[in-house]
A = this chain, B = another copy of it.
């Protein structure tokens, strides 16, 4: 690709044009992940822009997770966001392995608890009924990616308190309990990370997260799992494919 020249006559603001140039270079692989990009001064000279304009473009790219800064070292190209299908009933472990990353989990909590109101509603039991609660921090190649709180309800759930939960929960449910996820309803929201989430996921104050809620049922439509997952906004995007049914 030849060096793109910014168009100072265009209606598009110069900082946006610079963002687009840098983004294209990332897409084209000219700027690879963890590649150091030039300093503000270098970029302002290369593109004939004010440092203010360069600063604004870089700040937005950092905020969007396309670049990251390392104090005293400079600004670098971030890993691309993980595109996760919202339509695959796969587990975090399976997803990460399919991407060539090593999934691990840090177990933060596991106990039998009385179901809080919202959990009871989704699992269709009385408030206060026993459910198994598993809270796990999910990591990929050692980097924290998501915080998952699962509430499970099925015959033999007490065994979850002693079984090894380092790997795929769905694989375990399938193999040990013959539980197969068949249907799920997922909700997705954007919000600001709460203090505890921030610490666990290594996020800055005010960082956005994708909060997902999923209710999973077996083939008989009996819900056995309600999960609240918090995904890092700077590392995740969700993908959905649609096909129009019928003829209108």
Contact = CB atoms under 8 A, between A and B. Distances in A.
Contacts of A242: 86-89, 183-186
Contacts of A27: 117, 121
Contact of A81 (B88, B185, B189): B189
Contacts of A64: 191
A86 B83 contact: no
A33 to B, nearest CB: 18
B187 A233 contact: no
A237 interface: yes
Contact of A186 (B182, B183, B240): B240
Contacts of A89: 242, 244
A220 to B, nearest CB: 13
Nearest to A216: B242
State the number of copies, please.
2
Contact of A86 (B65, B240, B244): B240
Size bracket of the A interface:
35 or more
A118 B244 contact: no
Contacts of A42: none
A50 interface: no
Nearest to A243: B183
A188 B87 contact: no
Interface in A228-248: 233, 236-244, 248
A24 B190 contact: no
16 contacts: A20-B118, A23-B117, A63-B191, A81-B189, A86-B188, A86-B240, A180-B244, A182-B243, A183-B242, A184-B242, A188-B188, A188-B240, A189-B236, A190-B190, A190-B210, A240-B240
